[in-house]
Chain A
Amino acid sequence: MTKRTELHQRSLELKATVMSWAANKLFTFKQTGIDGYLKRSMLKPKRGQTAATE
Chain B
Amino acid sequence: MSSETKYSVCTICDIGCQLRTEAEDGKVTRVIAHDNPMLANNICFKGVAAPSIHNHPDRLRVPLKRVGKRGEDKWEETSYEQAMDEIAERLQTVVAEYGPEGFAVSTSGWNTQTTHGTDRRFMNLLGAPNWISGVALCAGNTAAVNKLTYGWFPMGDFGNTNCIVLFGHNPRKHSWTPIYNQINAARARGAKIIVLDPRISDQAEQADLHLRLRAGTDAAMCLGWLKVIFDEELYDKDFVREWCVGFEELRTRVDEYPLERVEQITGVDRKLIALAARTYANADGAIIPWTPITDMQISSTSAIRLHSILRAVTGNLDVVGGETLGGFNKSYIPESEIALHELLPEEQKAKQLGFEHHPVFTYRAAEMLKEPTEKVWGFPYADLVMGCHMANPTEVFRAMANGDPYPIKAFFALGNNALMSYPNQHQILKGMMNQDLIVAHELFMTPTAMLADYVLPGDVFSERNHIADSWNWSTRLTLSQKVVEPPEQASSTFQFWRDLALRFGFGNDFPWNSLEELLDYRLSRSDRTFAEFEQAGYMEVQTPEFRKYRKTGFATPSGKVELSSSILADLGFDPVPYYREAPVPTDEYPYAVFSGVREDPFFQTGQRNIPELRRRCPLPSVFIHPDDAVKEGLVDGDWVKLQTAFGEVTAELSVQDSMKQGHLRVPHGWWYPELRGEEDLAGAFISSDAVLCSDEDEFLDYEQGVPHFKGYPGRVVKTAKPAALDLQEAS
Residue ranges of A at the interface with B (Cβ–Cβ < 8 Å) = 1-4, 9, 12-13, 15-17, 20-21, 23-24, 27-31, 39, 42-43, 50-53
Can you give 22 A-B contacts (C-beta < 8 A)? A1-B235, A1-B313, A2-B286, A2-B315, A9-B546, A12-B160, A12-B319, A12-B321, A13-B320, A16-B320, A21-B543, A23-B541, A27-B37, A27-B38, A28-B36, A28-B536, A28-B541, A30-B537, A31-B536, A31-B537, A43-B36, A52-B35
Cβ < 8 Å to A, chain B residues 279-299: 281-286
Q: Which of B6, B157, B316, B536 contacts A52 (CB 8 A)?
A: B6
Q: Is the CB of A43 within 8 A of B4?
A: no
Does A51 lie within 8 Å of B541, measured CB to CB? Answer: no
Chain B proximity of A34: nearest CB distance (Å): 14
Q: Find the A residue at minimum CB distance from B283.
A: A2
B7 interfacial by beta-carbon distance below 8 Å: yes
**Contact between A24 and B541 (Cβ–Cβ < 8 Å)?**
yes
Q: In the complex the two chains form, what is the Cα distance from A31 to B533 in whole Å?
A: 11
A27 touches B544 (CB 8 A): no
Q: Are B5 and A9 in contact (CB under 8 A)?
A: no
How far, in whole Å, are A16 and B3 apart by their CA atoms in the complex? 40
Within 8 A of A (CB), among B494-520: none
A50 and B540 alpha carbons, distance in the complex (Å) = 24
Contact residue among B37, B235, B238 (Cβ-Cβ distance under 8 Å from A43)? B37
- Complex-state Cα separation, A4 to B285, whole angstroms: 10
Asked if A51 and B5 make an inter-chain contact with CB atoms under 8 angstroms apart, the answer reads yes
Complexed CA–CA distance, A52 and B23 (Å): 11
Closest 4 CB pairs of A and B: A28-B537, A2-B315, A12-B320, A24-B541
Chain A nearest CB from B731 CB (Å) reads 40
Which residues in B have some Cβ–Cβ distance to A below 8 Å? 3-7, 20, 22, 35-38, 157, 160, 234-236, 238-239, 281-286, 313-316, 319-322, 481, 535-541, 543-544, 546-547
Give the distance in Å from the alpha carbon of A4 to the alpha carbon of B322 in the complex: 12
User: A40: nearest residue on chain B (CB-CB)?
Assistant: B35
Contact at B321–A24, with CB atoms within 8 Å? Answer: no
Q: Give the chain B neighbours of A15 by CB distance below 8 A.
A: 320
- The reply to whether A13 and B546 contact each other, CB–CB distance below 8 Å, is yes
Residues of A within 8 A of B313 (CB): 1
A50/B314 in contact, CB under 8 A: no
Instruction: Give the complex CA separation of A50 and B471 in angstroms.
Output: 31
- Nearest residue (CB) in A for B319 is A2
Q: What are the residues of chain B within 8 A of A21 when measuring CB–CB?
A: 543
Q: Which listed residue (B282, B314, B539) contacts A28, Cβ 8 A? A: B539
Excluding A2-B316, A53-B4, A53-B7, 17 further A-B contacts by CB distance (< 8 Å) are: A1-B282, A2-B284, A2-B285, A2-B286, A9-B319, A16-B544, A20-B543, A21-B543, A24-B543, A27-B36, A28-B36, A28-B539, A29-B36, A29-B538, A43-B36, A52-B20, A53-B5
Question: Is B540 a contact of A20 with CB atoms below 8 Å?
Answer: no
Other-chain contact of B315, A1, A12, A51 (Cβ < 8 Å):
A1
In the assembled complex, which residues on chain B have CB atoms less than 8 Å from the CB atom of A4?
Answer: 284, 319
A29 partner residues in chain B, CB cutoff 8 A: 35-36, 537-539
Chain B positions within 8 Å of A2 at CB level: 236, 283-286, 314-316, 319, 321-322
Partner of A50 from B22, B235, B544 at Cβ < 8 Å: B22
How far apart are B119's CB and chain A's nearest CB, in angstroms?
A: 30
Query: Are B6's CB and A53's CB within 8 A?
Result: yes
Closest residue of chain A to B481 (Cβ to Cβ) is A53
Q: B538 and A28: CB pair below 8 A?
A: yes
B519 CB to closest chain A CB (Å) equals 17
Complex Cα distance, B282 from A2, in Å, reads 7
B538 → chain A, closest Cβ, in Å?
5
A39 and B238 alpha carbons, distance in the complex (Å): 45
Contact across chains for A16 and B546 when beta carbons are under 8 A apart: yes
The distance in angstroms between the C-alpha atoms of A16 and B320, with both chains bound, is: 7
Q: Complex Cα distance A13/B539, Å?
A: 22
B286 to chain A: which residues have CB within 8 Å? 2
Which among A23, A24, A28, A43 has the highest number of chain B CB atoms within 10 Å?
A: A28
- Bound state CA distance, A52 and B479, in angstroms? 13
Q: Contacts of A17 on B, CB cut-off 8 Å?
A: 543-544
Please, how many angstroms separate the alpha-carbon atoms of A51 and B35 in the complex? 9
Residues of B within 8 A of A52 (CB): 5-7, 20, 35
> A39, A43, A50, A52: which has the most chain B beta carbons within 10 Å?
A52
Q: Is the CB of A50 within 8 A of B4?
A: yes
Q: How far is the CB of B547 from chain A (nearest CB, A)?
A: 8
Tell me how far the C-beta of A45 lies from the nearest C-beta in chain B, rounded to whole angstroms. 8
In the complex the two chains form, what is the Cα distance from A12 to B321 in whole Å?
A: 9
Contacts of B285 in A (CB 8 A): 2
Inter-chain contacts of B536 with A (CB < 8 A):
28, 30-31
- CB-contact partner of B238 in A3, A20, A30, A53, under 8 A: A3
In whole Å, how far is B225's beta carbon from the nearest beta carbon of chain A?
A: 13
A24:B284 contact, CB within 8 angstroms: no
In the bound complex, CA of A36 to CA of B282 (Å): 42
Also in contact, A20 and B282, with CB within 8 A (given A13-B320, A43-B35, A52-B7): no
Query: Which listed residue (A3, A31, A50) contacts B5, Cβ 8 A?
Result: A50
